[in-house]
């Protein structure tokens, strides 16, 4: 499994809406152009739908589970992603975990891994501002 994390001054309740609302994903993931069938306003366990990526490519996904306020996971082909926020003191840790076949994880770690690390920072910064603990966004 690959894990990408960023510490945040934002409390989990400021991070969660960014992670769990498909209509907000493009605020931290520039390559996401839309999503449908995954739940509204938040992701819903068992939902099947698609995410539209840059270039208009729809990727079919299934929401595998939701622990409201903490984490949700989805399956995209052979890869399983978990988007999470872990409480730490008055702040949190924003994380994305990726699991799948070892050979594919090796490629994901070199290609998509740096992007996962970047978006955890963007989410952390955005949530800190929205949570009232930072400067202007």
For residue 116, pLDDT over 70 is answered with: yes
CA atoms of 21 and 41, how far apart (whole Å): 6
Does 136 reside within a domain? no
Does 54 reside within a domain? yes
Range of the domain at 68: 2-130
Mean per-residue pLDDT, 90-110: 97
Query: In the chain, how many domains are there?
Result: 1
Does 19 reside within a domain? yes
Question: In the β-sheet with 79-88, what is the strand arrangement from edge to edge?
Answer: 2-8, 91-99, 79-88, 71-76, 58-67, 48-53, 32-36
CATH for 9: 3.30.530.20
Does 105 reside within a domain? yes
pTM of the model: 0.91
Does 80 reside within a domain? yes
Element containing residue 123 per DSSP (H, E):
helix 113-130
For residue 4, pLDDT over 80 is answered with: yes
DSSP-based three-state secondary structure for 85? strand
Does 88 reside within a domain? yes
Does 137 reside within a domain? no
Task: For residue 17, give Cα distances in angstroms to 56, 68, 113.
Answer: 25, 10, 23
Task: For residue 111, give Cα distances in angstroms to 28, 53, 66, 104, 105.
Answer: 18, 16, 27, 11, 10
Q: Which tokens sit at 45?
A: 């366990």
pLDDT value, residue 132: 58
Q: pLDDT for 29-80, tens place per residue?
A: 988 989 999 999 999 999 999 999 888 889 999 999 999 999 999 999 999 9
């Amino acid at each position: 499994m690959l894990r990408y994390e960023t510490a945040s001054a934002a409390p989990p309740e400021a991070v969660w809406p960014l992670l769990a609302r498909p209509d907000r994903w493009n605020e931290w993931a520039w390559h996401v152009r839309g999503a449908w069938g995954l739940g509204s306003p938040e992701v819903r366990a068992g939902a099947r739908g698609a995410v539209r990526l840059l270039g208009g490519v729809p990727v079919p996904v299934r929401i595998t589970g939701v622990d409201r306020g903490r984490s949700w996971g989805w399956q995209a082909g052979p890869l399983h992603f978990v988007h999470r926020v872990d409480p730490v003191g008055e702040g949190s840790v924003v994380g994305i975990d990726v699991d799948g076949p070892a050979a594919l994880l090796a490629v994901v770690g070199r290609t998509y891994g740096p992007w996962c690390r970047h978006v955890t920072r963007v989410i952390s910064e955005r949530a800190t501002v929205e949570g009232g603990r930072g400067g202007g966004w």
